[in-house]
Structure 1
Amino acid sequence: MAASICGIDCTKCELSSICNGCMETNGRPFGAECMAALCLEKGEKELCEFKRNLIAAFRALNIEDMEEITELHALKGSLINLEYTLPNEQIIRFWNDDKIYLGNQLSKKGSDRYYGIIADENYLMVSEYSGPGSDAELVAFMRWRQS
C-alpha cells in the first residue's frame, strides 16, 4: 500500500487488507471522508488546530470521572459505531461505518467502564460502555463548530 496522507504506517493497520488507500482515493479510503485528510488538505497546522479545538470542546463538557483527553486518533466508523437504545426502545447508530472520525477511548475513573469520544466536523459525542462496546449509553451528542 502507498504512503498515507496523515503519515500513519498503513502496513501496521488491521484494516489494510480492505482499505483502498487514502492517497489513491483522495482521502476517502473506505468510500467516505477521512477527518484527518480533510484537515491536512489545508496543511498540517490545520489538523493540529482542529484537534486542539476539538479536545477543548470535549474538555468543556466537564465529565468529572473521565480521564484527561490528550490525543485524538483517526478511527473508522465501523469500529466506533455502537448501538444505542433510545427512550422509545428504538435502536440507533449515529455514524457512517465508512467515514474516518477523530476519537479516543478513555477510562472511567473508579470503574471498569470506558468513555468513547468521537467527532467529525459537525458533531461530537461521548458515550459510556463496558468491555468491547457493550451496554453503551449516550452521555453527550451535540453540534460543535471549530472557532
Structure 2
Amino acid sequence: MEENRMKSICGIDCTNCELSGACSGCAATGGQPFGAECLVVQCCKRGETVLDTLKKKLIAAFNALHIPDMEEVTELNALKGSFANIEYAFPNGQVVKFWDDNRIYLGNQLHKKDSDRCYGIIADEKYLMVSEYSDYGADAEIIVFKRWN
C-alpha cells in the first residue's frame, strides 16, 4: 500500500518530499495530490515534451521582464501553492492571496542582487507573478502580475 501511495505521474520521486505524509500521490488522485490540479501532471498527460516546452516559454517570459537585480531564470520547479502564496496588503488595507494553496504550480526563488531580499516567481498556464520579499515572505510586494499566455 505504501508504494502505491506515492506513485507520481511525472516521474518525481515523492518518497523524499516533506509533504509525503499529507499527500496520496498524484497517480492515486488523478493528478490532484492535494485536492487541486497539478500543472505538471496536466502537461505530462498531454505528451512527453509539453512540460519542457511550457518551462522554456515561462523561463523566457520571466527573463523578458528585465527586472533589475533579478538573477536570470534558468529553472522552474513544481511548487505547492501554499509555499508561495504570500499575503499582499493593498493600500486600502485589503489583504489578498493570488494562488490556490493546494494546487501545484511552476516557480522558484531567486536572490535579489546586492540585497538580503528575494524574488519569488510563480506561474500557471495563464498567469505569472514576480514578487519581492524578505525572510519567510515578510514585507512582500508585487513586482509583476500578468497574463502571459
Q: Scaled by the length of structure 1, what TM-score is found?
A: 0.96
SS at match of 2:86: coil
Q: How much has 1:42 moved relative to structure 2?
A: 1.2
Gaps of 5+ in 2: none
Answering whether residue 72 of structure 2 is matched by residue 56 of structure 1, we say no
Q: Determine the structure 2 residue equivalent to 1:22.
A: 26
* Percent of aligned positions that are identical: 63
Q: Scaled by the length of structure 2, what TM-score is found?
A: 0.94
Gaps of 5+ in 1: none
Q: Which amino acid aligns with 2:11?
A: G
Q: Equivalents in 2 of 1:111, 1:121: separation in Å?
A: 31
Q: How much has 1:7 moved relative to structure 2?
A: 1.4
Q: CA RMSD in A?
A: 0.8
Q: Determine the structure 1 residue equivalent to 2:115.
A: 111
Q: Do the aligned partners of 2:110 and 2:119 also contact (CA within 8 Å) in 1?
A: yes
Answering whether residue 15 of structure 2 is matched by residue 11 of structure 1, we say yes
Superposed, which structure 2 residues align to 1:76-115 within 5 Å?
A: 76-115=80-119
Q: Equivalents in 1 of 2:128, 2:69: separation in Å?
A: 18
Q: Equivalents in 1 of 2:110, 2:10: separation in Å?
A: 23
SS at match of 1:135: coil
Q: Which amino acid aligns with 1:124?
A: L
